[in-house]
Amino acid sequence: MKAPVAQKIKKVLETHGDQRIDHYFWLNERENPETVRYLEQENEYAAFMMKDTIELQEALYEEMKSRYKKDDESIPYFFNDYWYIVRYEENKEYPLFCRKYLSLDQTEELMFDTNLLAEGHSYFDFGSAAVSTDNELAAFSTDTVGRRIYTIQIKNLKTGELLPDNIENTTGKVVWANDNQHFFYIRKDKNLRAFQVFRHELGTDSSQDVLIFHEKDEAFDVNVYKTKSLKYIFIGSSSTVSDEHRFIPADQVFADWKIVQRRKENLEYSIEHYQNDFYIITNAQDAFNFKLVKTSVDHCEMKFWKEIIPHRQEILLEGFEIFAQHLVLEERKGGLLQINIINQMTGNSHYLEFSDPAYTAFIGINLEFDTTKLRYGYTSLTQPNASFEYDMDKKTTILLKQQEVLGGDFHPGNYISERIWAPSRDGVTKVPISLVYRKNTQKSPETPLLLYGYGSYGHTVDASFSNVRLSLLDRGFVYAIAHIRGGEYLGRTWYEDGKMLRKKNTFYDFIDAAKFLITESYTSSAHLYAMGGSAGGLLVGAVMNMEPELFNGIIAQVPFVDVVTTMLDETIPLTTGEFDEWGNPKEEEYYHYIKSYSPYDNVEPRKYPNILITTGFHDSQVQYWEPAKWVCKLRELKTNDNILLFKTDMSSGHGGASGRFESLKEDALEFAFLLKLENKK
């Protein structure tokens, strides 16, 4: 079977006097039968090329599935007189949401069986559920397309009936006022930007809902939330570099909204409430790694902010939790997350201790103020996800739950994790790399290694456990994460050095990390693979153009690869909100810089590695046509016979297939692709 050849229709794109010829621009016509036909042809070709791995894919799928506890449930948490539990039943794709009144010994109430809600839909996402303060109603949201556009409905938890209230085109989040008669929600505009906050009154048609706030600046999205104290409702308006928050008392639904601090360029802040004060994490006054301040509810402008935790040069403040007697900080130092516990009565502080060389630790769900018990989570490349309860006075820890790994002889001691530092080309920067492999896997140029990266938006990919990944490790692979610039692994400057006109540092770091792994004999180019999704797909696409023979294979998941065209088109979701990440190509300097690394614009006649590209037809974050066009251009220009496969899930969006087991089929395909290239089973 021959690879599909897409029709070429010349499209001239001119910006700043520079012409780009795009022969595959027409693929953005979602309703065009030729577009759908081409995507289906690519799916057929991918299936044909991978038909020799069908048994392997099935074996991988069953193997991955067997590791999961089929009848699992969450740790109960107590909130407003009820214990809440999320539970999975054997062989069901979606969870059940349950609760028990006052005691775990009480009869369980089934709030939602999302398997029933998902029936008849090829894609399903249960967005969220919010219970009214009198515990009688629950507002919940669902998406059955994959575009992250949710419909809100109301369920009477006492009778089980659905109320007639039905609100479409929302973000899915609901915040109840304390009167149990009104709630707030957010609508999306035509470009899927969260831009308006409405107030809904129960029993009325959504056409009568009251517009509370309209965010007119297209660089900003809005959010609505209630404080942990349940006393205030906030509307947050945020760009990638600025925030603005306004609030009302939760029991005064018709009150005027008061602004905490008006937006300023490069001023970021987030808020929590306790007693008479707002606690605020902010980068104000050059606190680039953030600091913690507090201010009274009555006088909340920035001029009244009082510093509690100062800015620290080597520590990034990522989050906090307030208790009656303790303040808990989530910090990052030297790339690793730390949990810092401060006794507010004595001023003494101490850190929780973690022993793995690379790990993830985080503050869990803590809904009570008047307690000495802290819930936190921990995982590493060798340790399954675990939840703990820590007594902050007694300094004692109880394991509440650890992820079970079934279906084999898994033991953490059979695997080795490391953290190493790769020298960058600038001679100064060192790029952290986290690795994991099975004990009996030898470091060797013959050893296959999968290198993962992201490196955008300040999002940090921490080292964590994966049930799925064991299927590669147990077949002799090394798995590595390159903590490259563009993320915040080493603080805010690590992010700033990998965005805008310094974006290429992200790609250079990944390349330098890969070359260091080869130099240190973990692998060789013949057995080295790269993987990234979304902005991580941009990463591997750019790297592939810069160093086409560095990797034997590339997996690009929902990749953002046509950066110039997308960032010039403000009708595409997310574009305007991302000018502070990539730059605005309507400015000539940014245009030429972005064009110099955009994967689609830099495909040339050359040898390319083996490539697997995936997308979702309903993707709202990265439109399907970006990877589709990229595949067409690669097919046209690449000069070798290496595999190039493109698979479109015609019923999913940016997150891939829905359901806890269905998504494993995507993992099985990707792993089978790698194992095929390694001649492994």
β-strands 415-423, 96-101: how paired? unpaired
Cβ pair 681, 70 in contact under 8 A: no
Q: Measure the N-to-C terminal CA separation of the chain; round to a whole number of Å.
A: 24
How many whole angstroms separate alpha carbon 513 and alpha carbon 419? 12
Going by C-alpha positions, the residue among 422, 426, 430, 424 that lies closest to residue 480 is: 422
Q: What is the pTM of this model?
A: 0.94
The Cα angle at residue 592 between residues 533 and 28, in degrees rounded to 5: 50
Phi, psi of 603 (to 5 degrees): -70, 130
pLDDT of residue 655: 61
Q: Quote the pLDDT of residue 656.
A: 59
CB under 8 A, 24+ apart: contacts of 201-208:
202/137, 202/154, 202/163, 202/165, 203/163, 203/164, 203/165, 204/165, 206/165, 206/166, 206/167, 206/168
How many Cα neighbours within 13 Å face the side chain of 199?
20
| 534 has catalytic annotation | yes
Catalytic residue, candidates 143, 462, 601, 619: 619
Report CA torsion sign: 189, 194, 200, 202. positive
Burial of 398 (0-12, 13-18, 19+ CB in 10 A): exposed
Catalytic residue (one of 182, 311, 326, 654): 654
How far is the C-alpha of 378 from the C-alpha of 384, rounded, in Å?
A: 8
User: Cα–Cα distances in Å, from 109 out to 79, 99, 100?
Assistant: 15, 5, 6
Burial letters 318-353, b for 16+ CB under 10 A, else e? bbbbbbeebbbbbbbbebbbbbbbbbeeeeeeeebe
pLDDT for res 85: 97
- Mark whether 245 is an active-site residue: no
Looking at residue 657, its pLDDT comes to 65
Contact present, 630 and 614 (Cβ < 8 Å) = no
> Residue 133: enclosing H or E segment and its boundaries?
none
Choose among 367, 366, 406: nearest CA to 389: 366
Alpha-carbon distance of 486 to 581, in angstroms, equals 9
Q: Is 598 exposed, middle or buried (0-12, 13-18, 19+ CB in 10 A)?
A: buried
pLDDT at 407: 86
Domains of the chain: 14-65+408-677 (3.40.50.1820), 70-322 (2.130.10.120)
Distance, in Å, from the CA atom of 624 to the CA atom of 504, rounded to the nearest integer, reads: 24
Q: Please say whether the beta carbons of 599 and 544 come within 8 A.
A: yes
Mean pLDDT of successive 10-residue stretches along the chain, which has 681 residues? 96 97 96 96 98 98 94 94 95 94 96 95 93 98 92 97 96 98 96 96 96 96 97 97 97 98 97 97 98 98 97 98 97 98 96 97 96 98 98 98 92 97 96 98 98 97 97 98 98 98 99 99 99 97 98 98 95 83 97 98 98 89 91 98 96 67 93 97 83
Query: What pLDDT shows up at residue 661?
Result: 85
535 HSE (CA, 13 A, CB side): 22
Report phi then psi at 479, rounded to 5.
-115, 135
pLDDT of residue 91: 82
pLDDT single digits (tens) 254-276: 999 999 999 999 999 999 999 99
Task: Specify the pLDDT at position 654.
Answer: 64
Q: With contact defined as beta carbons under 8 Å apart, do 246 and 260 qualify?
A: yes
d(CA 554, CA 143): 31
Give catalytic status of residue 464 as yes or no.
no
Tokens encoding 22: 């795009």
How much helix, strand and coil, in percent to the nearest 5, is found in the chain?
20, 35, 45
Select which of 238, 534, 598, 620 is catalytic.
534
Q: How many other C-beta atoms lie within 10 A of the C-beta of residue 512?
A: 21
